[in-house]
Structure 1
């Protein structure tokens, strides 16, 4: 792709939005076809069922790590200026936010990305939860919940630079990160093989992870070829959700961004996947999972994601793939918080399949 020509012709905002749209289309399609979901993986893990839900997440995560580290090793990607590494971060925010997010995703039966994917499949519960998530995220970013977020985030702050890089703290480099990702890729493949997967589980898991690497690579190329300052960024859903909310409510005029292209891309990609697989079905509330549960869960996820600096994909996979310390702390908090919430809230439903049912 001729980045210089594209930027000169359409401008940085349009090119970034197109990158987001392309990444979103791929992510939405692959995530829908593979049933990618951190909540499902967490529940399956804590139930001691090392099956396909856990394997899908591991495959996507390992692919993201391998893809990103391969780009760094080859010299085609430099993430040193990424927000997750270059700026000050909060370990207290990462831990508390991860725990809160983990509880919320169990209550809504899906993380932020999963809610968007399912909304395109006709799931009205996911649509409502996603809207509440976006409102809460914006409130935590610059609204009524911002003071609380800033207070918790200030408990334990870490400076940007090497102190935010897990690889730097361990005294290792990108090759070691690549080896780590390759090891987990083998583990994921082992679980996948014994789960008796079909084509779409393999393709969807790998494709979902590759979209994380593609997001980093695309925004890096725009940054490298732009005459204007452009921030390299990865695939995330908390910030773009709040951004789209403000775009709808406020007067138009703000420039387009990667996140503004990402969200509709994921929706359309998931819709295509649902139509291809015959999964589109209009669903509302009913059964044991009531509206108050979903609303509370979405509020917890919205606040937790902004406190932690990202959602399950934004912090967990995107930040994890570049070995940001705060991202790994957040990811650990999500696994613990999700496990505790499942044990306390869904004990009566442990005999049900971990995530075959949609949120």
Structure 2
């Protein structure tokens, strides 16, 4: 079927359609599960048991197990993916990841979460998402690019086996699968103890499978397409695609579409459909000038940090981690550390700490849990 679609429509439209479909899948289930790295980090840092950490862990472990399973079966080859094949920066991953973690606490949501909230009618997320995209583009090719490039030169790592944690640690494919399986079992145990609603754990599993689906889809297109310029093998990420979509809309509408072109609109549409079906569409704005400043500063830090780190909370935290690239794991660790410290130094000193409020929606219960 994919061969026929490529022959009939060409590589670019097929990639865009696949990005749209997988993005809708991700957006729908991210909205229903309340998937959010920021909420997970804050729960962990504050010692709370609200289920958000369990939701994130389900998505994380599912992405690892499913992706590594496809690789082990020979159905997926990610050796030429940018996260593994290209030269990387450990300093960029550490500094950028920390800045992204700080930013997502200030903006009360990572890049993907802002997109999901924007689809529900959250105007704070709409404006923050636009600023995030502008900041990311400025870090890639604009005024902030020299800063990003300078930070990235401090500590680099060659592509190939030097970026592959399964090689560096000696885990191998079997060890990677076992590692993911252990965390998946832990997520199941915690979900039972915390009585996480079905939408939480099932939706998070689908979020993780969307990451694997993107790896498989782009890898299959790259291996199948007969076009001279092969499509890059990639998975879900929101820093680069958000910046690229902004450029396409403003300056280059005639540029050939690709996976990224379908991904961001797909996530927005999937989240909108989920919110509409379950009666959660609601216009929300800023609560005041101080709140607005906080969100915008956070969005700028996320845009610059995500581009410097080579990925956002999904791009590095799920997609890159699922293929065990060392820079993604460094970025993910830095995001956790930056977010936890920011919450402790800023939010836990205020009234929010007294109420133990994550500033996020609770995981919706299915009928079986009501």
What are the equivalent positions in structure 2 for 1:125-144 lying under 5 Å apart?
A: 125-144=124-143
Give the conservation status (yes or no) of the 8 Å contact 1:17–1:259: yes
TM-score between both structures, scaled by the size of structure 1: 0.97
Listed one character per residue, the Cα deviations across residues 219-272 of structure 1 (whole Å, up to 9, x for unaligned) are 011001111212101100001100110011113221101011001110010011
Q: 1:288 and 1:146 mapped to 2: Cα distance?
A: 29
The answer to whether the 8 A contact 1:65-1:322 is kept is yes
CA 1:132–1:286: 2 relative to 1, 3 Å: same
Residue 341 of structure 1: how far off its partner (Å): 0.6
* SS of 1:351 mapped into structure 2: helix
Distance 2:356 2:30 in 1: 19
For the 8 Å contact 2:84–2:325, the answer to whether it is kept is yes
Equivalent residues of 1:25, 1:269 under 8 A apart: yes
Residue equivalent to 2:358: 355
Structure 2 counterparts to residues 146-225 of structure 1, below 5 A: 146-225=145-224
SS at match of 2:35: coil
Which position in structure 2 is the counterpart of 1:117? 116
Contact 1:40 1:354 in 2 (8 A): no
Question: Once the 2 structures are TM-superposed, how far is the Cα of residue 288 of structure 1 from its aligned partner?
Answer: 8.9
- Cα shift readout 1:10-64 (whole Å, capped 9, x = no counterpart): 1100010011011100000000000000000000000012430000000000000
CA distance in 2, matches of 1:88, 1:219: 21
Note the C-alpha offset of 1:84.
Answer: 0.5
TM-fit CA distance, 1:289: 6.0
The alignment status of 1:242 with 2:248, answered yes or no, reads no
Equivalent pair of 1:92/1:155 in contact (CA under 8 Å): yes
After superposition, give the CA deviation of every residue in 1:303-340 in whole Å (9 maximum; x if it has no partner): 00000000000011100000000000000000000001
In 2, Cα distance between equivalents of 1:149 and 1:260: 24
Aligned to 1:273: 274
Shift of 1:278: 1.6
Q: What is the root-mean-square deviation in Å for CA atoms of aligned residues?
A: 1.3
Number of equivalenced pairs: 358
Return the alpha-carbon distance in structure 2 between the equivalents of residues 204 and 293 of structure 1.
30
TM-score (norm 2): 0.95
Distance in 2 (alpha carbons) for counterparts of 1:46 and 1:199: 24
Instruction: Indicate the residue corresponding to 2:233 in structure 1.
Output: 232
Partner residue of 1:304?
305
Write the distance in 2 (CA, Å) between the matches of 1:12 and 1:294: 38
Gaps of 5+ in 1: none
| SS of 1:79 mapped into structure 2 | coil
Whether contact under 8 Å (1:51, 1:192) holds in the other structure is no
Distance 2:300 2:341 in 1: 18
